[in-house]
Amino acid sequence: MTKSLNSNFKRQRRNQKSAQELVDGILSGNKADLAQGITMLESSKPEHHRMADEIINGCLPHSGKSIRVGITGVPGVGKSTFIEAFGNHLIEQGHKIAVLAIDPSSQKSGGSILGDKTRMETLVRKEEAFVRPSPSKGSLGGVAKATRESIILCEAAGFDFIIVETVGVGQSEIAVRGMVDFFLLLMLAGAGDELQGIKRGIMEMADALVITKADIEEKTKVKAAMTEYKNAMHLFPPHESDWIPVVSSCSAISGEGIEKINEIIGSYANTTKLNGFFDKNRTRQDLKWMEERVNELILESLKNKNGFQEKSNELATKITQGKISPFRAAEQLLKDLNIT
């Protein structure tokens, strides 16, 4: 009781909105409230968890009506420039777009390597766009969780085209693939995929592969790269969606090929909505989400139980003294708490 009063008091002092106020703001399309809601999702403070849950539950009934697109490619491929050009094109077509980023790569310093704030300059100034940099700290799991939940909030705020950008080349793509409808891989012509660090596993996940900077590179080089990638993609097992991945090219500067990418995504959505894969994929993602959320809730509730922290600290001391192995200590902890 005192605690709750206390936190109410603090909230008022800081002029922070309640969960319901934020939900109302988000549903009315207020970008400041959307940003504040996402900040709650990203917060690691336990006192923000309940508020985050309320916001998500408030937004969920109004979510789902967007196309969710994951975009990846190595640093240097021109992701931001592409997203800026593509996003502006989508806005011209009447869309409202949200750009979220997953980049848990610079864990040690906790800072984003890309200096997100200076990117996508024209896009961030548009009323119809919402650009949110990646949370600057946290594990991939935590960052991915926050991004998945942010999608819900963006959709509730009326954004109908969600772009999830990922900077890494590897594990984070798998996380993103698990939360989007369409996965787009950007590549450079002529750099060779070995050096680009693009791995088979990433190419296999792509629904489209687009060669960027088609204005700078020689036409023959772009064509050769497209042929090479088309051949490579043919060797992969067919997608469960029955969609045949498309290889294309574009220039974010001249705008050439940008419109085509939107058409490809539209065609993918039509095809997979007709054959049932679109919904099947979303349901599967939802089931996975439930599973992850269950794990999270279980661990949260047990670790708040009486004695957990004390016992855990005792065993940690023993590990530090070399008296017990971490493996045995874990077993002991569960036994002491009657969990097994």
Residues that bind a second copy (CB under 8 A): 53, 56-57, 60-61, 74-76, 104-109, 113, 140, 167-172, 174, 191-192, 194-197, 199-202, 204-205, 236-237, 283, 286-287, 289-290, 293-299, 301-302, 312, 315-316, 319-320, 325-331, 333-334, 339-340
**Nearer Cβ to a second copy (42/128):** 42
**Nearer Cβ to a second copy (274/290):** 290
Q: How far apart are CB 156 and a second copy at their closest, in Å?
A: 12
Q: How far apart are CB 100 and a second copy at their closest, in Å?
A: 18
Euclidean distance between CA atoms 80 and 213, whole angstroms? 12
Query: In the structure encoding, which two tokens stand for residue 209, read together?
Result: 């592969």
Give the pairing type, strands 246-249 and 161-166: unpaired
Between the two ends of the chain, the Cα-to-Cα distance in Å is: 34
The string over 127-137, giving b where at least 16 C-beta atoms fall within 10 Å of a residue's C-beta and e elsewhere, is: ebbbbbbbbbb
**Nearer Cβ to a second copy (36/63):** 63
Q: Judging by beta carbons within 10 Å of its beta carbon (0-12, 13-18, 19+), is residue 75 exposed, middle or buried?
A: middle
Q: How far apart are CB 75 and a second copy at their closest, in Å?
A: 5
- Reference 86, options 172, 162, 29; nearest CA is 162
**Nearer Cβ to a second copy (229/258):** 229
Q: How far apart are CB 228 and a second copy at their closest, in Å?
A: 16
Euclidean distance between CA atoms 38 and 52, whole angstroms? 8
Q: How far apart are CB 105 and a second copy at their closest, in Å?
A: 4
Q: How far apart are CB 13 and a second copy at their closest, in Å?
A: 30
**Nearer Cβ to a second copy (18/106):** 106
**Nearer Cβ to a second copy (224/289):** 289
CA distances from residue 236 to 121, 203, 207, 229, 245 in whole angstroms, order as listed: 38, 9, 12, 11, 10
Q: How far apart are CB 14 and a second copy at their closest, in Å?
A: 27
**Nearer Cβ to a second copy (124/232):** 232
Euclidean distance between CA atoms 280 and 177, whole angstroms? 14
**Nearer Cβ to a second copy (263/279):** 279
- Reference 177, options 27, 288, 55; nearest CA is 288
CA torsion, points 12, 148, 45, 23, in degrees to nearest 10?
10
The sign one gets for the Cα dihedral 266, 269, 273, 276 is: positive
Q: Would you tell me how many other CB atoms lie within 10 Å of the CB of residue 9? A: 10
Q: How far apart are CB 187 and a second copy at their closest, in Å?
A: 12
